[in-house]
Amino acid sequence: MRIRPTVTLTALATLLAACTSAGSDAAPLGSGTAASVVLVVTKAGCAPLPATLRAGPMTFAIRNESAPAVSEVELMKGTRILGEKENLIPGTTGSFSLRLAAGTYTVYCPGAKTDKATLLVTASP
């Protein structure tokens, strides 16, 4: 039995959409140019650079530089997790991408000295 690539890609896209925890504040990244947010995890914390961006698609590039007690990074809106990267032992990298609406978000890196930082997303022009 041969599976058509378009059927496989459609099924994969449906599965990925079902696995996201995104709601009205965030959506899986589709098309468009994504802004980059760098999260360097250290024992001190994981503040986003830049800390203020315009609404739209964003890619979070994460690197655990030196924090053995921190193994994950989460992006939250209130108590809801919108995106996360786990298994981030020191020296490893990871990423996730979302489309964010205007608002205030929390970058959470449990185990760091300062485990929460703010990401401000402003309205698109």
For 44-102, write each residue's pLDDT tens digit: 999 999 999 999 999 999 999 999 999 999 999 999 999 999 999 999 999 999 999 99
The domain segmentation of the chain, as residue ranges, is 5-122
Protein fold of 5-122: Immunoglobulin-like (2.60.40)
Give 91's contacts (C-beta < 8 A, 6+ positions apart). 64
Predicted TM-score of the model (pTM): 0.73
Q: How do residues 5-25 score in pLDDT, each as one tens digit? A: 433 333 333 333 333 333 445
